[in-house]
Amino acid sequence: MTETILQLFRNCSRSVFALFIAILLFNQSATAAPDGKALFTSNCAACHNPLKDATGPALKDIDKTFPSKEWGYKWVNNSQALVTAGDKDAVAIFNKFNKIPMTAFPSLSHEDIDAILKYVDEFKDPNAKKPGTETPVEAKSNSSIYTWITLGLIVIAIGMWRLSSTLRKSANDKSGIPNYKDIPLGRNKVVIAMVVILGFIFVGYWITNGAINEGRQQNYQPVQPIFYSHKVHAGINQINCQYCHAGAEKSKQAMIPSVNVCMNCHKQINEYSGAADHPLVTTEGKTVNGTEEIKKLYAAAGWDPTAKAYIKDEKGNIKTQKVEWVKIHNLPDHVYFNHSQHVKVGKVQCQQCHGEITEMDEVYQFAPLSMGWCVNCHRQTGVQFDNGYYNNVYKKYHEEMKSGARTKVTVDDIGGTECQKCHY
């Protein structure tokens, strides 16, 4: 009788332990980013939302409307080729979206496209993921649930193990088998080893997670000293990004414009007349008076809008102050990132890394800026191999491209995932 109970308990504690390991593994795989998501974010998110029409249509379940699977691949690889060939479905979609051509993605394989479509089809509306919330809340509460379940299971496993050894002792007593000397829990080698290993796993996991997330702040959206809207400037009024961020093509830094750049236009424009068409509202829902915000610019510039002149002190100096914009994107000091390399040489669009800025009143950090994010894109993105920079190097790749054995040369192929390229 006691033997069977004993057996039962042994089995039980074993399966509890197995469950616990399974949860550990599941927890790990739950945090690993699926490929489809990364591909979608780096290639499609600038123009597509899974759920809402943006520049292009909402993509959730779009594959169910394709004339054929092949057609879908062709579309994503090069939609304009289909349109020019007169494919009637393609032409209809193109016309419906005001003839905005979609970027061609000749480098995406069928598996890549399947992964993207799977990701958008399974996409669920994460209401909590509003810009401004600094950490995705659901992910956090999820992982703490796992932690509690795990801790609970450990307690149960230890309890069962103790119970089973007590039972064994009494069973042995009954049948007259001499007991091993009872080793206290704290000195049992197996227990000590288990505790040390688990301790390592958990402490390691928490520390690396904490270190990785520290200073990384996707969706970060600080309040700026002047409510300056990118939507009003770069969107509605179509001002080129590089008018203000002139460094993006020429140097490492894109640079934030000085007050003088603002005043090129705002000596004339002293009020915001667009409130009827595009009212300005903060993420908290407060209405903003654009004209008052322009006055803040004047205060910083030292400009008198009634006299239409700069205010001068006794010595005749203009006292222009800097506007203390809060920096949103911050890479750690040990990382080297260069805008002109990406914008000029690599022809990467601002939107791929910064999101649809022309739709943002207040800018927020769109990309995670994690190492995985940089490296993923380098693995997937082709360099502009025939733009002259690579004429006299990588002979092998040139030959392979010519013979058709290779369709693209990725950043990875030219060494873009080597540690020292990104780390000082």
> Of 85-114, which residues contact ligand HEC (CB under 6 A)?
93-94, 97, 100-103, 105, 108
- Spell out where 240-385 has E strands: 280-281, 287-288, 303-304, 309-310
**Based on CB atoms, which residue is closest to ligand HEC, 129 or 266?**
266
Any contact of residue 119 with ligand HEC (CB under 6 A)? no
The piece of 17-25, 155-163, 211-219, 392-400 that touches ligand HEC (CB under 6 A) is 211-219
Q: What is the CA radius of gyration of the chain?
A: 30
| Contact pick of 47, 115, 157, 160 for ligand HEC (by CB under 6 A) | 47
Helix (H) or strand (E) holding 143: helix 137-175
Query: Per-residue DSSP letters for 154-197?
Result: HHHHHHHHHHHHHHHHHHHHHHTPPPPPPPPGGG-HHHHHHHHH
Long-range contacts of 76-81 (CB under 8 A, 24+ apart): 76/105, 76/108, 76/113, 76/116, 77/104, 77/105, 77/106, 77/108, 77/113, 78/104, 78/105, 78/106, 79/104, 80/104
397: left (phi over 0), alpha (psi -120 to 50) or beta: alpha
Per-residue string for binding with ligand HEC, 215-244, x by CB under 6 A?
xx-------x-xxxxx-xxx--x-x-xxxx
Q: x-or-dash pattern for ligand HEC, window 246-265, by CB under 6 A?
A: --x----xxxxx---xx-xx
> Is 116 among the residues that bind ligand HEC (CB under 6 A)?
yes
Among 41, 303, 354, 397, binds ligand HEC (CB under 6 A): 354
Per CB under 6 A, which of residues 311..330 are in contact with ligand HEC? 325, 327-330
Least Cβ distance, residue 259 to ligand HEC (angstroms): 7
Torsion of CA 333, 213, 416, 410, to 10 degrees: -150
The least distance separating ligand HEC from the CB of residue 276, rounded to whole angstroms, comes to 10
Contact with ligand HEC (CB under 6 A) among 6, 38, 46, 157: 46
One-letter amino acid at 283 equals T
The closest alpha carbon to 38, from 153, 140, 118, belongs to 118
Binds ligand HEC by CB under 6 A, chosen from 41, 79, 150, 217: 79
Question: Which one, 6 or 348, has the nearer CB to ligand HEC?
Answer: 348
Q: 110-121 and 69-77 helices cross at what angle (nearest 10)?
A: 100
- Of the two residues 168 and 342, which places its CB atom closer to ligand HEC in the complex? 342
Number of residues that bind ligand HEC (CB under 6 A): 110
The Cα–Cα gap between 349 and 47 comes to 12
Q: How far is the CB of 127 from ligand HEC (least distance, A)?
A: 24
Instruction: Compute the least distance from the CB of residue 15 to ligand HEC, in Å.
Output: 37
Residue of 50, 353, 397, 413 that binds ligand HEC (CB under 6 A): 353
For helices 2-31 and 137-175, angle between their N-to-C axes, nearest 10 degrees: 160
Query: What is the C-alpha separation between 215 and 213, in angstroms, rounded?
Result: 6
Tokens 């915000």 locate to: 293
CB of 320 to ligand HEC, least distance (A): 12
Residues from 266 through 305 that contact ligand HEC (CB under 6 A): 266, 269, 272-274, 280, 290, 293-294, 297
Nearer to ligand HEC, 160 or 377 (CB): 377
b/e 350-360 (16+ beta carbons within 10 angstroms → b): bbbbbbbbbeb
Q: Is 303 helix (H, G, I), strand (E, B) or coil?
A: strand
Query: Per-residue string for binding with ligand HEC, 381-420, x by CB under 6 A?
Result: x-xx--------------------------x--xxxxxx-
Q: Is 370 in the site for ligand HEC (CB under 6 A)?
A: yes
Q: Is 374 in the site for ligand HEC (CB under 6 A)?
A: yes
Q: How many helices (H) and strands (E) does the chain have?
A: 18, 4
Range 18-37, binding ligand HEC (CB under 6 A): none
Tell me whether residue 10 or residue 278 sits nearer to ligand HEC (CB atom). Answer: 278
Site for ligand HEC in 149-208 (CB under 6 A): none
192 to 2, 70, 189, 199: CA distances (angstroms) = 28, 58, 5, 10
